[in-house]
Structure 1
Amino acid sequence: MTRSIAALIMAAGYASRFGRCKQLTQVGGKALLQHSIDSAQAVCPGKVFAVSGAWHEALRKAMHSEELRNVILIYHPDWSEGLGSSIARGVTGIGSHVDGILVLLADQIAVTAEDLLPLRRKFTGDNIVCSVYAGSRGVPAIFGRSSFGKLRELSGDRGAKALLYDEHVPVVECPLDHASIDVDTPEDLHRWVTTRDHAYGLEARRKCV
């Protein structure tokens, strides 16, 4: 049986350390947020949502200009309360018509569709499937409907990490080293792009040998 899964991308923060709208910063010809949208679309086609907040107007205008595509914005006016509050707003906005919700961060730039597909394959509808990186559980993670109530109760800056250790719900781990890479500053982004391009160059030369 195919489970219906919606993706919820967390993109509400101001990103003060970045110095400008991180979500719309161009990476390889498209907005950073669009990279997450495209990856999520491969796993949750037609059901990709993003929680907006500090930069809502900029993101809305980007949708009108089609700089952002294939996403539904859920505006959170109280975005400054923190990540937990934003997750709760997003889950409430999606509703309970899906079997699961894939939660991921907009700035996990290295996460690809290929990384997310194993999470979907391991999701049964009554479990939680989470990424494991740097020795800890985290997002991206898929939460079944039985966890929606607890997600809606999150508040402040407390994210969903505690739910990933819920003893009352089966939790399946999925190694995902790419999830450990996030972008907090322009230097972080430059470092990742440089590393990625170097890796692509090595792979291209290897194929030519």
Structure 2
Amino acid sequence: MLLAAGSGSRLGTPKALVEFRGERLVDRGVRALHDGGCRPVVVVLGAASVRVRGAVTVHNPRWDSGMGSSLRAGLDAIPETADHVVIALVDQPFVGPRAVRRLVDAAAEGASVAVATYGGARRNPVLIAREHFEEVARLATGDAGARPFLRAHPELVVAVPCDDVADPADIDTPADLSALRARPDLAV
């Protein structure tokens, strides 16, 4: 699932629409999830309505209430046949398929909750098993997303180091976008 519903208020445009290295951030995120082993890929949109190839799009009419409502809308759209979901954010262009694959592999090894870590710090993406969807959705309010669930259940969380394959730097402002555009690609 790619969370891409926000308006990008500090950036001045919805992040889903931002071009980065020849492709929109939303397309880059879909590619990372797909190439990392996620099928289907669900994209939650809100402030911007865009066509996204290779993904199921879900409109969150309450996108302006924060990430929590987008996470709930996305979880509702995950097919019943899916045992897990990898949740990624549209504004992290250097989180690619290799980081996603590590989370998918953690699920294959029995993890019901896995979180990408960078320098030991938990960041995105996050993998959640279906058995936890209801509680994740219940606790997701405002801009918190899955964080309250992860804090409530540290015993479930498997840390998945991704320092060597990804960078969680995100785009919140025009300065962030300029800085990331100037950096060399991580072959994501």
The normalised TM-score by structure 2 is: 0.87
- Do the aligned partners of residues 168 and 192 (structure 1) sit closer, same or farther apart at CA in structure 2, a change above 3 Å counting? closer
AA aligned to 1:86 is S
1:187 and 1:92 map into 2 onto residues whose CA distance is 35
AA aligned to 1:39 is A
Correspondence for 1:194 among 174, 182, 186: 182
The normalised TM-score by structure 1 is: 0.79
Give unpaired runs (5+ residues) of structure 2.
none
* 1:35-74 alignment runs, 5 A limit: 35-56=28-49, 59=50, 63=51, 68-74=52-58
AA aligned to 1:129 is A
Please name the residue that 2:23 is paired with.
Answer: 30
Please name the residue that 2:127 is paired with.
Answer: 142
What is the CA deviation profile of residues 160-198 of structure 1, one whole-angstrom value per residue up to 9, with x for unaligned ones? 11222343862210122434300112221221121116x
Tell whether the 8 Å contact from 1:137 to 1:164 is kept in structure 2 after alignment: no
Q: Which 4+ residue blocks in structure 1 deviate beyond 4 angstroms?
A: none
The Cα shift of 1:18 comes to: 0.9
Percent identical residues: 28
- Do the aligned partners of residues 158 and 168 (structure 1) sit closer, same or farther apart at CA in structure 2, a change above 3 Å counting? closer
Tell whether the 8 Å contact from 2:45 to 2:60 is kept in structure 1 after alignment: yes
AA aligned to 1:167 is H
What SS does the aligned partner of 2:184 have? helix
| 1:152 lines up with 2:134 in the alignment | no
AA aligned to 1:146 is E
Correspondence for 1:175 among 153, 157, 161: 161
Tell whether the 8 Å contact from 1:165 to 1:171 is kept in structure 2 after alignment: no
* 1:83-122 alignment runs, 5 A limit: 83-122=67-106
Structure 1 stretch displaced more, 176-185 or 82-91: 176-185
CA-atom RMSD, angstroms? 2.1
